[in-house]
Chain A
Amino acid sequence: MLDTLLPILIFAALAVAVIGAGRRVRLWRQGRPARVALLQGLAAMPRRYLVDLHHVVGRDKVMSNTHVATAGGFVAAAVLMILVHGLGLAEGVLGWLLLAASGCMFVGSLFVARRRRNPPARLSRGPWMRLPKSLMAFSLGVFAVTLPSVGLLPEGFLEGSGGWLLALVLAAVVTWGLGEMVFGMTWGGPMKHAFAGALHLAFHRRPERFGGGRSTGLKALDLDDPEAPLGVEKPADFTWNQLLGFDACVQCGRCEAMCPAFAAGQPLNPKKLIQDMVVGMAGGSDAAYAGSPYPGKPVGEHQGSPHGPIVARDGKALVDAETLWSCTTCRACVEECPMMIEHVDAIVDMRRFLTLEHGNTPNKGAEVLDNLIATDNPGGFDPGARMHWAADLELPLMADRGAAEVLLWLGDGAYDMRNQRTLRALVKVLRAAGVDFAVLGNEERDSGDVARRLGDEATFQSLAKRNIATLARYRFARIVTCDPHSFHVLGNEYGELGGDYEVRHHSTYIAELFEAGRLHFKPWKGGGVTYHDPCYLGRYNGEYEAPRNVLKALGIEVAEMERSGFRSRCCGGGGGAPITDIPGERRIPDMRMNDVRETGAELVAVGCPQCTAMLEGVVDGGAEVRDIAELVADALAEAPQATGGGATQTQRPQAVEVV
Chain B
Amino acid sequence: MRPEPSKTAPLEITVLVSVGRHPLTGRGRRADQDARGVELARALPAPEVRLLHAGALDGGSEAALRGYLGMGFDALTLLEQPEGADVLPALADALSEASPQLVITGERAEQGEGSGLLPYLLAEWLGWPVVNGLAEVEDVQDGVATLLQALPRGQRRRLKVRLPAIVTVDGAAPAPRQSAYGPARRGTLEAVPGPVSLDGDWESWQVQPARKRPKRLKIVKAASARDRFKAAAAKAEGGGGQVLTDVTPEQGAEAILKLLKEEGVLR
Contact = CB atoms under 8 A, between A and B. Distances in A.
Interface of A: 226, 230, 313-314, 355-361, 365-366, 369-370, 373-376, 380-384, 456, 458
A380 B24 contact: yes
A383 B24 contact: yes
Contact of A374 (B29, B177, B178, B186): B29
Contacts of A380: 24
A565 to B, nearest CB: 38
Given A226-B186, A313-B1, A374 B27 contact: yes
A356 B178 contact: no
A529 B182 CA distance: 49
Most-contacted residue by chain B among A356, A359, A370 (CB, 10 A): A359
Contacts of B186: 226
Contacts of A383: 24-25
Contacts of B27: 373-374
B72 interface: yes
Top 10 closest pairs, chain A to chain B, by CB: A359-B180, A366-B178, A359-B178, A357-B182, A374-B22, A356-B181, A458-B181, A382-B24, A230-B182, A356-B182
Given A230-B181, A313-B1, A359 B72 contact: yes
Nearest to A382: B24
Given A373-B29, A456-B181, A458-B181, A359 B22 contact: no
A373 B183 CA distance: 17
Most buried by A among B25, B70, B185, B186: B25
A380 B71 CA distance: 21
Nearest to B179: A359
Contacts of B22: 374-375
Contacts of B185: 226
Nearest to B177: A359
Given A226-B185, A374-B29, A355 B24 contact: no
Contacts of B177: 359, 366
A382 B71 CA distance: 26
B29 A357 contact: no
A357 B180 contact: yes
Contacts of A357: 180-183
B180 A356 contact: yes
B178 A375 contact: no
A359 B72 CA distance: 9
Contacts of A360: 178, 180
Contacts of B24: 374-375, 380-384
A247 B23 CA distance: 50
Interface in B179-238: 179-183, 185-186
Max chain A C-beta neighbours (<10 A), residue from B70, B177, B182, B183:
B182
A369 B25 contact: no
Given A226-B185, A358-B180, A359-B178, A374 B25 contact: yes
B1 A314 contact: yes
9 contacts: A226-B185, A358-B180, A359-B70, A359-B177, A359-B183, A365-B178, A370-B29, A370-B178, A381-B24
Contacts of B29: 370, 373-374
A355 B180 contact: yes
A383 B25 CA distance: 7
A607 B25 CA distance: 31
A355 B70 CA distance: 11
B221 to A, nearest CB: 40
Contacts of A374: 22, 24-25, 27, 29
Nearest to A313: B1
Contacts of A384: 24
Most buried by A among B1, B29, B181, B183: B181
Of B71, B177, B178, B185, the most chain A CB neighbours within 10 A belong to B178
A294 to B, nearest CB: 24
B178 A369 contact: yes
Nearest to B22: A374
A359 B71 contact: yes
A213 to B, nearest CB: 33
A350 to B, nearest CB: 14
A369 B185 CA distance: 17
A191 B221 CA distance: 92
A375 B72 CA distance: 24
Contacts of B71: 359
Contacts of B70: 359
Contacts of B72: 359
Given A313-B1, A355-B181, A361-B178, 6 more contacts: A355-B178, A359-B183, A366-B178, A375-B24, A456-B181, A458-B181
B25 A375 contact: yes
Contacts of B179: 359
A366 B22 CA distance: 16
